[in-house]
Amino acid sequence: MIVCSCNVLSDAQVRETCARSDAPRSPGQVYQCLGCSPQCGRCARTIRGIMDEALSKACDTCPAACPAAGPVAAD
Q: Where on the chain is the footprint of ligand FES (CB under 6 A)?
A: 4-7, 38-43
Which phi and psi (to 5°) does residue 30 adopt? Answer: -65, -50
DSSP letter string over 26-68?
SHHHHHHHTT---SS-TTHHHHHHHHHHHHHHHHHTS-TT-GG
Query: Nearest distance from residue 25's CB to ligand FES, in Å?
Result: 18
Query: Nearest distance from residue 72's CB to ligand FES, in Å?
Result: 39
Which is nearer to ligand FES, 46 or 53 (by Cβ)?
Answer: 46
Which is nearer to ligand FES, 10 or 39 (by Cβ)?
Answer: 39
Query: Nearest distance from residue 24's CB to ligand FES, in Å?
Result: 15
